[in-house]
Structure 1
Amino acid sequence: MKDIAEIVGTFARVGYLKPAPGTWGSAAAVPVFWALTEAGGFGLVAFATVVVCIAGLWATQVMTKDATEGTEEHDPSEIVIDEVAGQWIALWPVALGAQMMGVESARLWPGYLAGFILFRLFDIWKPSLVGKADRRGDAVGVMLDDVIAGIFAAIGVVILAGLAHGFLM
């Protein structure tokens, strides 16, 4: 089971890439998100995100079983499945927007770029609720801080899209 947890937790070993494994995990999540969006639209990516969150929580619990709570070991850098979940949430507005407009999601490429940058910003900066979740020091906190960062980034993507298209001016 530990081998399967490692494959899931490191997103097929992407988490071992250096430097900045979290950024590599987020970057690897984007083309997978695009493929899921093209294959099944927003419904599929939303379902896949829930699956990734559940599988990620399990994998993180297995991989950090012997870690001391509240230490750096509770969130090893090679665990990037949390970044995958957060990155996908950050990109939800892109998938939903493409589906609503009936276009291929790649046409909304500025949304992909904004979602990636905003998610990395919130994940690294850890403002407000993101930092509070991270300080839990357990597997739930490992996943939850990135989910919240993804939500913040998704809100930012919607705001930027509104500004770009003149809806919020």
Structure 2
Amino acid sequence: MKRLAELIATVCGVGYLRPAPGTWGSLVALPLGWLVHVVGGFPLFLLAIVATFFKGLWATRLMTRDSDDHDPSEIVIDEVAGQLIALAPLSYSAWSMGLEITDLWPGWIAAFLLFRLFDISKPWLVGWADRRGDPLGVMLDDVIAGVFAALSVMLLAGLWHGVMGW
């Protein structure tokens, strides 16, 4: 079980890449999100987010049990979950409007950069979750960063397409 937990938590070893394993974890979420969307649209995308969160929580619990480090840098499944949340508005928009998800490429760039910004800077609730010092906090800080990024992507899309008329 410990080996399976390590494979999940490190996203098949991606968490061991240096430098910036969290950024590598976020990058892995991009093709994964694209694939999930292409295979099953937004409904499967939501299911993937939920499954990633719960698998990540389980794996993080096992990986950090009996450890002084509550959030080892090699655990990047939390970044995958958060990045998928940041991409969710793009999956929904493409799915509901019958667009190719790749047509929304500026949103993908914004979602990636905004998620990394919120994950690294840990503002407000992101920092609160990170300070919990437990496996739920490990997952939750990235979930909240993903929600902040998703809301920011929607705001930017509204400004770009609505206010600016492009």
Name the TM-score class by shorter chain.
over 0.9
Deviation of the 1:168 alpha carbon: 7.4
Match of 1:6 in 2: 6
Match of 1:34 in 2: 34
Instruction: Please tell me the residue identity of whatever aligns with 1:2.
Output: K
Relative to the length of structure 2, the TM-score reads 0.97
Within the candidate set 129, 143, 148, 1:147 is matched to: 143
Match of 2:103 in 1: 107
Match of 1:65 in 2: 65
Unmatched tracts of structure 2, length 5 or more: none
Match of 1:129 in 2: 125
Deviation of the 1:163 alpha carbon: 1.0
Match of 1:94 in 2: 90
Match of 1:17 in 2: 17
Match of 2:46 in 1: 46
Match of 2:112 in 1: 116
Instruction: Please tell me the residue identity of whatever aligns with 2:87.
Output: L
Unmatched tracts of structure 1, length 5 or more: none
Instruction: Please tell me the residue identity of whatever aligns with 1:42.
Output: F
Relative to the length of structure 1, the TM-score reads 0.95
The number of residue pairs the alignment matches comes to 165
Deviation of the 1:100 alpha carbon: 1.5
Identity of aligned residues (%): 61
Runs of 4+ in 1 over 4 A off after TM superposition: none
Instruction: Please tell me the residue identity of whatever aligns with 1:134.
Output: D
Q: Secondary structure at the match of 1:165?
A: helix
Deviation of the 1:167 alpha carbon: 4.4
Deviation of the 1:166 alpha carbon: 2.0
Deviation of the 1:103 alpha carbon: 1.0
Deviation of the 1:137 alpha carbon: 0.1
C-alpha distance in structure 2 between counterparts of 1:168 and 1:126, whole Å: 30
C-alpha distance in structure 1 between counterparts of 2:30 and 2:163, whole Å: 26
Per-residue deviation, residues 51-70 of structure 1 (Å, max 9, x unmatched): 010000000000000123xx
C-alpha distance in structure 2 between counterparts of 1:164 and 1:81, whole Å: 31
C-alpha distance in structure 2 between counterparts of 1:39 and 1:112, whole Å: 18
